[in-house]
Structures are given as structure tokens and as C-alpha cells.
Structure 1
Amino acid sequence: MSRALLAATAAGCLVLTGCASTVALQPAPNSGASACADISVRLPSDLVGKERRWTTAQATAAWGDPAAVLFTCGVTPPGATTMPCRTVDGVDWLVDDTDAPRTLVTTFGRVPAVQLYIDTDPTGGVSSIDALTALGPLISAYTTVTSECTAHGGATAAPTP
């Protein structure tokens, strides 16, 4: 699924799930990865003060009503890019904030890749750093590092050992 299509789908979910108890999401192409199952069963019931809600797809999660954070495991791992790449507690994240105050972040250099769509609006959203810090240990523990961010903030593949 392309970034633009995923962002549009996620934005629609954020708007449409205001009163619903279950959040409708699509599974990622690699959502059946065992690491996604390992992460999914360990996701917190509360994330940055937002209660977890049921979702309709494997290896997904949502927190808040309306949803402030959408989680998808098993997205296609991104390749080298000039997008900003930030490291939070040892996990590299590509940051796409073109839909501010919503931010789309995708793990870089990890398999399976994880993506979060975070509403950072001050009137009902959450801190993206707090969300990344809360989920980072799970992602670190159950995904495999394949690449890393470069010093200048972009993302390139790590050299093969």
C-alpha cells in the first residue's frame, strides 16, 4: 500500500471512528509475520493516556476515542530515502508530517516494519515522542535490524558485514 493511500485510509479512520467501538483497518502485506504476532499480543491496553480499542485487522491496534494512534505491523519495509529519520530509544523512524497535526512514522531498517499514524493535535492527540518511546521496547525486542539512519538524518542501507 502506498504511503499516500495509507495516510488517506488512516486519516479516514481517525475521522470515522469517533463513536465506534471497533476501528476498521486493513492488514499490512506482512502482517502474518511471527514478530507481528509477538508484538501484537504484548501491546499495552493504555498508550500515552489513551485506551486501546478493538480493530478489524491482524497485527493492528488503535488507541483513543476518537483514535489518536493507529498501529500496523508488517508494512513493506521502506528503502533508502531523503525523508527525515529520527532515532528514539534505539529504533529508527522515518517521519512524514506532511499531514500535520497527524504524523505518519515508519520503522526504518527493521523487519518486519511497523507504522504508526499519530494524531498530535493539542486538543485530543498525543505526543509522538511519548508514543514512540512507549512502543520502542516491543519493536526493539521482536524485530530484526537490517539498516540504520545515517548521521545527516536521511536513511540508507547499512553495509553488508
Structure 2
Amino acid sequence: MLPARNITPRIAAVLATAALTAVALGGCTRTIGVEVAPDAADPLCASVLLAVPDELGEDLPKVPTDAQATAAWGEPGGAVTMRCGVEQLGPSGDCQHVDSGDGTTVDWIVTTDDQGTWSFVTYGREPAVEVIVPPAVTDNHSTSFIADLADAVTQVPATKECQ
């Protein structure tokens, strides 16, 4: 380390800039990796992504993703992820009407796997939108925040409803 008397104003400025850069980069949000959906380039997906909320529930902030037509909320390793342009699913007994509270209803095919991961895929909208909710989120949240996505997914007109 240099004695204080040998630090010139230029060296002091370089050290200060380096310290500020390290602090700024340390506070950056990490990007969430999400696999791009087959029909992500559909123009309706752009409308969906422009309408997604900045937060799900009261404490899941939107974070950057690394793929077209995707969004994520939460923390790496435990984020809710959304992909627009997934394959539309056929009729299913797992289809549920979800009311957003403002009169908007979205039909979702809702499933869970053996690990406790929830999957929501819009029904009757093409391109379809998929939302994945991992156990790291459902351990502390209900999945009722799916209603927060109604404004976004209704950018794709419904052509069918759950029966």
C-alpha cells in the first residue's frame, strides 16, 4: 500500500472511481435465465410484456431476464417467471377462471409437479402465456398474485373459455 504522502490527486481520483464502480456493480440485480418460448416473436407478446406489472403481490419486484418475451419477479433461484409464446394447451379439467378483482377474468390451466412447482398456462389465448411459480415462492406466498397479470395477458384476445 502506498504511504498517504505519495498519493497524488490523480491516483486518489482513480481509486475513488474504482471504489464507486465496485459499490454500484455490487448493487446490481442479477438477470434471471428464462428459456425463450417457441412463438416468442409473435407481436402480441410484445404487448403482453409492455403491460406486465413492476411487482407481483406486495413484495416480488420485477427483475431483468435474458430472453425475448419473458419476465420475472423475485430473486434468482426463487423467481416467478413468465414466458409468452408457449404452446396453447387443449381443454382440461385443470382449467380455472381467475378474477382479477376489476371484472377481468383470465382462464388458466393450473398444475403442480412433484417438487411443488406451480404452472399456469393461459387457456383460449394464442399465443399462450406460461407462468412458473417455484416452491421458494409458494413457501411464503399464495399464488393469488396470478390475478396481477390479468392486464398483461388480456393483451391477447380470448377465443375460448374453460368449460
Cα distance change on mapping 1:124 and 1:80 into 2, 3 Å: closer
Q: What are the Cα deviations for residues 28-78 of structure 1, in whole angstroms up to 9, with x where unaligned?
A: 111111111011122222212111111111010111113331100010111
Q: In the alignment, residue 40 of structure 2 is paired with which amino acid?
A: S
1:139 partnered with 2:153: yes
Residues 1-150 of structure 1 mapped to structure 2, 5 A cutoff: 21-48=30-57, 49-66=59-76, 67-82=78-93, 84-89=94-99, 90-121=105-136, 125-130=140-145, 132-140=146-154, 142-150=155-163
After TM superposition, the score normalised by the length of structure 2 is 0.70
Which consecutive aligned stretches of 4+ in structure 1 deviate over 4 angstroms post-superposition? Answer: 120-125
Between 118-127 and 24-33, the greater mean CA deviation after superposition: 118-127
Question: Contact 2:125/2:160 (CA < 8 Å) preserved in 1?
Answer: yes
Distance 1:123 1:136 in 2: 20
Between 44-53 and 115-124, the greater mean CA deviation after superposition: 115-124
Q: Deviation at 1:91?
A: 0.6
Gaps of 5+ in 1: 1-19, 151-161
Distance 1:56 1:125 in 2: 26
Question: Contact 2:51/2:151 (CA < 8 Å) preserved in 1?
Answer: no
Distance 1:75 1:28 in 2: 5
Question: Contact 2:80/2:137 (CA < 8 Å) preserved in 1?
Answer: no
After TM superposition, the score normalised by the length of structure 1 is 0.71
